[in-house]
Structure 1
Amino acid sequence: MNVLIVYAHPEPRSLNGALKDFAVQHLRAAGHAVQVSDLYAMEWNATLAASEIPERVHHRADILREQEKLRWADTVIFQFPLWWFSMPAIMKGWVERVYTLGFGYGVGEHSDRRWGDRYGEGTLSGKRAMLVVTAGGWESHYSPRGINGAVDELLFPIHHGILYYPGMEVLPPFLVYKARSMGEQRFAAITEQLGQRLDTLATTPPIPYRRQNHGDYDIPAMILKADIAPAASGFAAHLA
């Protein structure tokens, strides 16, 4: 399997750095090919330039390299600390620059039966993706009634909007809570759990998001049909 790790943390000696190093070693020991896009080490330019907007498409070499990595990968792991309820700005900038028109979006034709190739279809269909996320708060803080909101809802814009939108199957995330409280024993337990998730990247059932063009949505309004999960609303309505 070809695995791309898109990684965002500025400190190599951090918990995130240790988890990334473990993942690379574990995957390679299992016979997988691994590439890492270490965004801080690469000094990734997170700012979308005027020459890169759709009307003036000019893909720079750094964008083309990352797109080629995505084409190469069977599975993409996005690893980052949860900062201000989302991914670090440098990783969001990676998405904004790499997901260019015709690659990450704007794929396929619109009609009264099909609204482009997105949400389960698109350039990255056939690939799998998983988030590895660390958070300073407790697991209870991110529960359905927790003060920070349910973690599945916090991650929905990334899972559904960044990973599923261009076609990738999205695996349940690997989450590390209380990231600032990490002794040797706990770290060993977490890496064992992470290793198990890495060993099952190809077999873990993905989050069952509804596909856009498979009959659940009215096109072009893009609203769930009245007889589809009539009692559901919000993010949960888009789970099959």
Structure 2
Amino acid sequence: MNVLVVLAHPDPASFNHALAATAVDTARRLGHRVVLHDLHAESFDPILPAPEIAKGAPIEPWLERHCDELAAADGVVIVHPNWWGQPPAILTGWIDRVVRPGVAYAFEEGDGGEGVPVGLLRARTAVVINTSNTPAARERKVFGDPLEAIWKRCVFDLCGVKDVRRRTYSVVVTSTPEQRARWLEDARELVSSAFPRSG
């Protein structure tokens, strides 16, 4: 199984990096081929230029590699903090440039783009791991957990991925080493259940 892991956090010492490393290690131990993209470490350019918008538009080879890896993935893991109720800008740019028409979705014949797209992704399961400094109860009551809608309904569902498993760990800023160890074990179990051992 091919598992794509995408990490979006600028600090290599962050808990997000520990979560992504756990996801990568877990998937590899289960016999999967893993591709990791640490978007900040790679200096991923999130700006979508106008000539790149259309389906079939020519794109740079490095970006085409991202698209090919997404298309080939049997499973996807996304790791990022909750910033202002949304993914960091670098990850939003990754969505803009990689989750593109002809790669992740397409419109039916005769549809000018106003209809519901048909999902093209091969992956059947996605795992989204978030961190937050907002208590879970306040997140739900005050903000309505916008990341749930973004990932489940606005991104993966429209690209054909119906099994989306999401976990948020909070409050990170006041967490103890013991809490973080428990969260990492929980993330390991989450990835293991989403992508069982090959063969």
TM-score tier after normalising by the smaller chain length? 0.7 to 0.9
RMSD of equivalent CA atoms: 2.1
Q: Aligned partners of 2:194, 2:67: CA distance in 1, in Å?
A: 21
Cα contact 2:127–2:191 (8 A) shared by 1:
no
Q: What stretches of structure 1 move > 4 A for 4+ residues in a row?
A: none
Greater percentage in strand: 2
1:128 matched to which residue of 2?
A: 125
TM-score by length of 1: 0.74
Cα contact 2:121–2:159 (8 A) shared by 1:
yes
1:25 matched to which residue of 2?
A: 25
Give SS of 2:97's match.
helix
Cα contact 2:71–2:103 (8 A) shared by 1:
no
1:105-142 CA distances to partner (integer Å, 9 max, x unpaired)? 4343247xxx5652xxx211553212101011111112
1:228 matched to which residue of 2?
A: none
Q: What is the identity percentage for the equivalent residue pairs of Structure 1 and Structure 2?
A: 27
Q: Do the aligned partners of residues 116 and 74 (structure 1) sit closer, same or farther apart at CA in structure 2, a change above 3 Å counting?
A: same
Q: Greater RCO between the two (CA within 8 Å, min separation 6)?
A: 2
Q: Aligned partners of 1:65, 1:175: CA distance in 2, in Å?
A: 29
Structure 1 residue identity aligned to 2:133: G
Counterparts of residues 146-165 of structure 1 (less than 5 Å):
146-147=141-142, 149-151=143-145, 153-165=146-158
2:181 matched to which residue of 1?
A: 188
2:98 matched to which residue of 1?
A: 98
Deviation at 1:53, TM superposition (A): 2.3
1:142 matched to which residue of 2?
A: 139
1:82 matched to which residue of 2?
A: 82
Q: Do the aligned partners of residues 160 and 41 (structure 1) sit closer, same or farther apart at CA in structure 2, a change above 3 Å counting?
A: same
Greater percentage in helix: 2
2:48 matched to which residue of 1?
A: 48
Q: Aligned partners of 1:56, 1:69: CA distance in 2, in Å?
A: 17
TM-score by length of 2: 0.88
Structure 2 runs not aligned, ≥5 long: none
1:209 matched to which residue of 2?
A: none
Give SS of 1:200's match.
helix
Q: Do the aligned partners of residues 125 and 161 (structure 1) sit closer, same or farther apart at CA in structure 2, a change above 3 Å counting?
A: farther
Greater C-alpha radius of gyration: 1
Cα contact 2:75–2:125 (8 A) shared by 1:
yes
